[in-house]
Amino acid sequence: MKIRKPTGEIYVKVSALLKSAFPKSRYEQGLVEEFHDNNTPIHEWVCIHMNKVVAYIAFSNAYNGDEICGLHLAPLAVAPPFQRQGFGSELLGFALRQEAIKKSPLFVLGIPGFYQRFGFKHCALPVCPFTKNNRHFLAIRNTATTPFVVGYEPEFGPA
């Protein structure tokens, strides 16, 4: 298994992975394709196993108004034949150790049981516009003490 930054020729494989990992939704695939098409600054990595892209992770800027206040983890995906084998955990653990990620506040809208194993905790502030009562909104190194609605890159669409 090898983890590396994706390059242009890998983007097609990333799109195929996102399509297979989220079969009932084209949102994640469209989100990442728009990030690439718009040259939106993101931190991203792929996990390659047996010459296949089996997992993908991306982080984009989180905002408090116009100020960057951290990073959003979205999406994290593993190809269905490789799920529940540790690839997603390995990729997330790798990403959390990277210089660009390891000191920043991180936010994720996801399955609490999975992300809590990596130190993410439920957070009340900031308010996530994509979930009711921040039910599935978690963070690491979150320093927010005053209420605000966390902002996302425009590719995420309206909340």
Could you tell me which residues come within 8 angstroms of residue 58 by beta carbon, excluding any fewer than 6 positions away? 32, 35, 42, 43, 44, 73, 74, 75, 76
How confident is the model at residue 159, as a pLDDT? 61
Amino acid identity, position 135: R
* Dihedral pair phi/psi, residue 145, rounded to 5°: -125, -15
What three-state secondary structure class fits 10?
A: helix
Residue 75: cis peptide before it, omega within 30 degrees of 0: yes
Residue numbers in the chain where pLDDT is lower than 50: none
CATH classification code of 2-154: 3.40.630.30
Q: What's the token pair of residue 52? A: 């296949």
Give pTM, 2 decimals: 0.95
Q: What is the pLDDT of residues 33-72, one digit of tens each?
A: 999 999 999 999 999 999 999 999 999 999 999 999 999 9
The values of phi and psi at residue 30, to 5°, are -65, -40
Residue 6 has φ and ψ, to the nearest 5°, of -75, 150
pLDDT (0 to 100) of residue 158 = 75
